[in-house]
Amino acid sequence: MNARAPEASRPNLPLEFQDPRESLGILGFWFFLASDVVLFSCLFAVYAVYHGRVAAGPTPFQVFDLGPVLTETLLLLTSSFTCGLAIFMMRRGSTRGLSVWLLVTLLLGMAFVGMEVHEFAGDILRFGTWHKSAFLSSFFTLVGTHGGHVSFGVLWAAALVVRLWRQGLTPGTARRVYTFSLYWHFLDIIWIFIFTAVYLSGKIT
Amino acid sequence: METSTPKAHEIEQGEVVEISALAPRFEEHAFPWRQIAGYAASLLLTLGALLLVERRLLPAAWLAPVILALAAVQAGLQLGLFMHLRESLGATWHVLTLALAIVVALGIVILSIWIMAFKSGVS
Amino acid sequence: MAHLLALFFPPSVLRPAELATDAGILLGGAAIVAWLTWRRRWAWLWREWITTVDHKKIGIMYLLFAIVGLMRGGVDALMIRTQLAMPNNTFLGAEHYNEVFTTHGTTMVFFMAMPFIFALFNIAIPLMIGARDVAFPKLNAISFWLFAFAFLLFNMSFLVGGSPNAGWTAYAPLTELHFNPGVGENYYLIALQITGIGTIATGVNFLVTILRLRAKGMTLMKMPLFAWSALITSSLVIFAFPALTIALALTMLDRLFGSTFFTIAHGGMPMMYVNLFWIWGHPEVYILVVPAFGIFSEVVATFSRKRLFGYTAMVGSLIAISLLSYGVWVHHFFTMGAGAAVNAFFGISTMLIAIPTGVKVFNWILTMWGGRIRMTVAMLWQLAFIPTFVIGGATGVMLAVVPGDYQFHNSYFLIAHFHNVLIGGVVFGLFSGLYYWWPKMFGWMLNERQGKWAFWFFLIGFWVTFFPQYLLGLKGMTRRIYVYPPGLGWSTLNLVSTIGAFAMGAGFIILVYSILYSWRHRQPDLTGDPWDGRTLEWSLPSPAPEYNFAVLPRADARDAWWEMKRSGSCGKVSAVAVGPIEMPRRSAVPFLLGLSFFVAGFGAVFSFWTIALFGMAGVIALLLSGWFDEHDHHEIPAEEIRRSQAALGRFES
């Protein structure tokens, strides 16, 4: 949001890049994501060090149930796809298509969060809270931090849908939708690594 | 496939690309082929990794590196096909930053495991 | 009610020192409120400062907090030194001493050095690179208010609820609830997380500002070195601070929510905290010192009237230092016993950093070589920095030798080393920058003669304080002991060290007096270029107008302003070239966001979850309001800019 004369816009670029001031937000958001990569890497490091430190509690093999986890994964992968379609529609200038796919993404995200809450509740009922062991603490924190990010994304997407209805597709809205899509795909990448390094690896004996 | 680069007369302050490897590129298509391909590939890779583990298709020592490699491929697909990695107004500084972030992240995970293994037992 | 009183006012906050501070703060606060009301300044305060998004004003507010932080951390330091002046001293009790050294370190790192650095970034960077503001002015204000409210929250601790007392590094398991009941550590954990969010946002902000908003023609290799140092610092911030956030968050989860990350009983490992803390902690050292390197590079060139020697090598060494700094963190805990291979790896990587740092030192010296040196206060700090920092660096290499470190670790040798680099590098640099950019901030000069008095008191005091500490370390005195018996050969050295600390305190008081004196007896800077400077900020009037540049400048050479002056340009603009300028609108959201975080943080500290949720609801509501906000800019008409430029005498005739 630098101060510059408004005439400097780029008509042949996608809407979210046309206004140079708005486009700064895209680069800034990428830098935030880079920072978030490091944040998650610290949680992965903690999990990697702690996954065998189960004390008197259950082992990863006992805790993980790949059935629901696969459903969660498919929900998130699909939502990443629909989010990509939303941007595709935005690029074609279809506010309607954008809103619909954004709404689908949001609903899939909510379903994912719901599944995860259900999974966590089940784990706690069966095995006890994270007080039991360092493994459980690190597992709930890593996966929960991702879940918290997704929940925040759902709230963000909801606000974007409302904004689209009220203000239409402006460069400002386009930039916000675009940064949301970066966030959403990023969370999908993090989940792929959680699925692989936490759940699947926990099933290798 | 149409690709476009900002034209020279449009280049403003901060948009001069000094490192040619960081030049931006925009892509637009008439049909979402890339998204569909990305989705299909991610489903395939996910189910493939799951199958490898569930059916024990590889020796246990091989499983972890292989499924982690599959995850890395899938992450690359998300970045390349969904996240429009090369798009930017001006140099794509985020590509360089992201590369550094990945190096730092790998360093944190790998070195932490190494440090916390306490291999020597001497202190 | 009695329960609440006991929670808020445990015995540790009812000691005479704390009660006297209470009284002082209440009286001071009342005086400020009375003054604001009497002079009818509340609206002014709200309009011009609290809701501002102007980087120059935000910089000044950071500076104000940094000086208050320096005072608080300095008083803590003098209390520590007073206690240690004599064997078997009873000035402070054991518990009190723990609290004081904890808040000393924490304040100096997070609430003095960091805001001081951000103050100078905010004040100088946009002006230097020819921009009208930072990339995200509102986010910049949010960063500031998160920091300011975290400052408030942290400093509240010793008045309400009790101070943190586990050292500035807050190592587990000492910070675990079982060993450390009470709310003191909660203050530490939550205040630092809040300011950490703001710090990461500042890192992102300055990265985008420097990469995207430079003047036309200013390629990366034409940027002033201070801009390079801000770029490198910001990249270190975004990669290092997440590790601190995680270390603090996990400790907080252990304390407040019963997880078991760092409790041995359930498989946790306190050593993992140490590992995470220093993954942040070592890059943090460079986050602090790299800006100082940038300041010195500007100051040495200006006051030697020479181009900086070896610009490319300077940039290369900054990049090398920043990359190496990610791979050295274990040298803070060689004695933890991670094994010979681990220690050898990190010992060697640590020593490697001395190479690019040495390159920089030679370049500063060679910049002065053959130059026409002016002995201003800013330059004096630069001259004092070189030998001081070299000695600090050399003792650092000694500590990097692993077998040696087993002897030096956590002794006063280490204390002397890191004060040697953090004061001799960072604080000297910040004081140099303070004197250098002060006229640009306020439009009047700081008194040079008083500045030199402050300089000599502080410099001599510094060496008298810390040189004896090297010897004390070699004689076996370890850090964080509050009392020692006579007869160990430590008594005289400790007394000398304490005398030095009070000399540094006197230097600080002279500095503050000098600021007030220079304010009363104002010596205005009418040219905007009092030092015959080389970079673009000196092409502007002091202080710069709200929009900085009436016409955005071109920078076709390094030292752009110096070249302009040589080619006969005088920093004036032609009236025809002036157009309307769009500037960000002031906003109450940053302040309210900081306030909401404060409320949430306060609630979490005391586990008052209703209050905490209330605060978080405020955070969400304010974020939502930002997502719908489309009108955050306003336009200054060309006529108004012409008028203000004419008043400043900045038009070509």
Q: Using CB atoms, pick whichever of A32, A131, A159 lies closest to residue C266.
A: A131
Cβ atoms of C279 and C243 closer than 8 Å: yes
Dihedral angle over CA of C120, C123, C127, C131, nearest 10: 110
Q: Are residues C500 and C630 in the same domain?
A: no
Q: Are residues C393 and C422 in the same domain?
A: yes
Question: Measured between alpha carbons, how far is A7 from B12 in angstroms, rounded to an integer?
Answer: 12
Query: Distance between terminal CA atoms of chain A?
Result: 53
Please judge whether B93 and C272 are an interchain contact, meaning their C-beta atoms are less than 8 angstroms apart. Answer: no
Reported as a single tens digit per residue, the pLDDT across B40-57 is: 999 999 999 999 999 988
Query: Which residue in chain A is spatially nearest to B72 when comparing CA positions?
Result: A193
Q: Are residues C35 and C105 in the same domain?
A: no
Query: Which residue in chain A is spatially nearest to B111 when comparing CA positions?
Result: A45
Beta strands B26-28 and C581-584, pairing class: unpaired
Query: What part of A 133-172 touches C (C-beta under 8 Å)?
Result: 133-135, 137-138, 140-141, 155-156, 159-160, 162-163, 166-167, 170, 172
Q: Tell me which DSSP letter residue C633 carries.
A: E
Question: Which of the residues A10, A189, A195, A203 would you substitute to probe the B interface, choosing the one with the greatest number of B C-beta atoms within 10 Å?
Answer: A189
- Would you say residue C268 has pLDDT above 80? yes
The CATH architecture to which A16-202 belongs is Up-down Bundle (1.20)
Query: Which residue in chain A is spatially nearest to C270 when comparing CA positions?
Result: A134
Cβ atoms of C517 and C454 closer than 8 Å: no
Question: Measured between alpha carbons, how far is C197 from C195 in angstroms, rounded to an integer?
Answer: 5
3-state secondary structure of B4: strand
Q: Read off the tokens for C496.
A: 């000398």
Q: Read off the tokens for C9.
A: 């006012």
Reported as a single tens digit per residue, the pLDDT across A92-142 is: 999 999 999 999 999 999 999 999 999 999 999 999 999 999 999 999 999
* A contacts of C279 (beta carbons < 8 Å): 42
Q: Are residues C362 and C505 in the same domain?
A: yes
| Residue the block writes with tokens 């209470």 | C22
**By C-alpha distance, which of C539, C565, C560 is closest to C550?**
C539
Question: Measured between alpha carbons, how far is C52 from C588 in angstroms, rounded to an integer?
Answer: 8
Please judge whether C630 and A172 are an interchain contact, meaning their C-beta atoms are less than 8 angstroms apart. Answer: yes
Which DSSP helix (H) or strand (E) runs through B2?
strand B2-4
Q: What is the DSSP string of B24-51?
A: --EEE-SS-HHHHHHHHHHHHHHHHHHH
- Ramachandran category for residue C649: left, alpha or beta (phi over 0 → left; psi -120 to 50 → alpha): left
3-state secondary structure of C634: strand
Q: Using CB atoms, pick whichever of B7, B35, B101 lies closest to residue A34.
A: B101
Q: Read off the tokens for C509.
A: 């008081």
* C contacts of B91 (beta carbons < 8 Å): 211
* C contacts of B108 (beta carbons < 8 Å): 243, 279
Task: Mention every residue, 6+ apart, whose C-beta is less than 8 A from residue A193.
Answer: A40, A44, B71, B75
Question: Measured between alpha carbons, how far is C451 from C377 in angstroms, rounded to an integer?
Answer: 6
The domain limits of chain B are 2-92
Question: Measured between alpha carbons, how far is C80 from A24 in angstroms, rounded to an integer?
Answer: 47
Lowest mean pLDDT among B71-85, C141-155, C285-299: B71-85
3-state secondary structure of C581: strand
Mean pLDDT for the stretch of residues C23-36: 93
Instruction: Return the axis-axis angle of helices C448-474 and C491-520, rounded to nearest 10°.
Output: 160
Query: What part of A 153-172 touches B (C-beta under 8 Å)?
Result: none
Q: Are residues C531 and C620 in the same domain?
A: no
Rounded to the nearest 5 degrees, what angle is found at the Cα of B98, between the Cα atoms of B93 and B103?
Answer: 130
Q: How far is the alpha carbon of A141 from chain C, nearest alpha carbon, in Å? A: 8
- The answer to whether residue C237 neighbours chain B at the CB level (below 8 Å) is no
Q: How far is the alpha carbon of C33 from chain A, nearest alpha carbon, in Å? A: 35
At B12 the pLDDT is: 56
* A contacts of C632 (beta carbons < 8 Å): 1
In this complex, which chains have at least 3 CB pairs below 8 Å with chain C?
A, B
Q: Which residues of B touch C (CB under 8 A)?
A: 12-16, 18, 90-91, 93, 97, 100-101, 104, 107-108, 111-112, 114-123
Query: What part of A 18-47 touches C (C-beta under 8 Å)?
Result: 24-25, 27-28, 31-32, 34-36, 38-39, 42-43, 45-46
Q: Are residues C641 and C503 in the same domain?
A: no
Cβ atoms of C114 and C101 closer than 8 Å: no
Reported as a single tens digit per residue, the pLDDT across C358-370 is: 999 999 999 999 9
Q: Using CB atoms, pick whichever of B90, B100, B107 lies closest to residue C327.
A: B107
At B122 the pLDDT is: 44
Residue C278 domain-assigned (yes or no): yes
Structural domain span for residue C39: 13-50
* A contacts of B96 (beta carbons < 8 Å): none
Reported as a single tens digit per residue, the pLDDT across C533-592 is: 999 999 999 999 999 999 999 898 999 999 999 988 777 788 788 889 999 999 999 999
Q: Using CB atoms, pick whichever of C200, C212, C272 lies closest to residue A24.
A: C212
At A8 the pLDDT is: 57
**By C-alpha distance, which of C289, C291, C293, C277 is closest to C329?**
C277
Which DSSP helix (H) or strand (E) runs through C343?
helix C340-368
Please judge whether C211 and B100 are an interchain contact, meaning their C-beta atoms are less than 8 angstroms apart. Answer: no
- Would you say residue B5 has pLDDT above 50? no
Please judge whether B118 and C338 are an interchain contact, meaning their C-beta atoms are less than 8 angstroms apart. Answer: yes
- Would you say residue C98 has pLDDT above 90? yes
Reported as a single tens digit per residue, the pLDDT across C149-201 is: 999 999 999 889 999 999 999 999 999 999 999 999 999 999 999 999 999 99
Reported as a single tens digit per residue, the pLDDT across C454-482 is: 999 999 999 999 999 999 999 999 999 99
Q: Are residues C470 and C597 in the same domain?
A: no
How many structural domains are present in chain C? 3
Q: What is the DSSP string of chain A?
A: -----TT---TTS-HHHHSHHHHHHHHHHHHHHHHHHHHHHHHHHHHHHHTT--TTS--HHHH--HHHHHHHHHHHHHHHHHHHHHHHHHHTT-HHHHHHHHHHHHHHHHHHHHHHHHHHHHHHHHH--GGG-HHHHHHHHHHHHHHHHHHHHHHHHHHHHHHHHHH-S-HHHHHHHHHHHHHHHHHHHHHHHIIIIIIIHHT--
Per-state percent for chain B, helix, strand, coil, to nearest 5: 60, 5, 35
At B15 the pLDDT is: 66
- The answer to whether residue A68 neighbours chain B at the CB level (below 8 Å) is no
CA atoms within 13 A on the CB side of C563: 11
* B contacts of C326 (beta carbons < 8 Å): 104, 107
Cβ atoms of C214 and C134 closer than 8 Å: no
Question: Measured between alpha carbons, how far is C237 from C143 in angstroms, rounded to an integer?
Answer: 13
Reported as a single tens digit per residue, the pLDDT across C476-513 is: 999 999 999 999 999 999 999 999 999 999 999 999 99
Residue C619 domain-assigned (yes or no): yes
* Chain mean pLDDT for chain C: 94
Cβ atoms of A161 and B43 closer than 8 Å: no
* B contacts of A193 (beta carbons < 8 Å): 71, 75
Residue C270 domain-assigned (yes or no): yes
pTM of the model: 0.95
Question: Measured between alpha carbons, how far is C466 from C421 in angstroms, rounded to an integer?
Answer: 11
Across the A/B interface, how many CB contacts are shorter than 8 Å? 150
Mean pLDDT for the stretch of residues C617-631: 86
Question: Which of the residues A35, A43, A124 would you substitute to probe the C interface, choosing the one with the greatest number of C C-beta atoms within 10 Å?
Answer: A35
- The answer to whether residue A45 neighbours chain B at the CB level (below 8 Å) is yes
- Would you say residue A12 has pLDDT above 80? no
Q: Which residues pair with C633 in a beta bridge?
A: C584
Q: Read off the tokens for B40.
A: 């299909």
At A10 the pLDDT is: 72
Cβ atoms of C625 and C589 closer than 8 Å: yes
Q: Tell me which DSSP letter residue C573 carries.
A: B
Rounded to the nearest 5 degrees, what angle is found at the Cα of C126, between the Cα atoms of C122 and C128?
Answer: 110
Cβ atoms of A33 and A183 closer than 8 Å: yes
Q: Are residues C400 and C492 in the same domain?
A: yes
At C653 the pLDDT is: 63
At A9 the pLDDT is: 66
- Would you say residue A192 has pLDDT above 90? yes
* C contacts of A138 (beta carbons < 8 Å): 261
Please judge whether A200 and B79 are an interchain contact, meaning their C-beta atoms are less than 8 angstroms apart. Answer: no
Last residue of a domain, one of C536, C559, C590: C536
3-state secondary structure of C582: strand
Mean pLDDT for the stretch of residues C239-257: 97
The domain limits of chain A are 16-202
Q: Are residues C123 and C26 in the same domain?
A: no
Q: Are residues C372 and C229 in the same domain?
A: yes
Query: What part of A 86-145 touches B (C-beta under 8 Å)?
Result: 87-88, 91
* B contacts of A78 (beta carbons < 8 Å): 39
pLDDT category at A5 given cuts 50, 70, 90 is very low
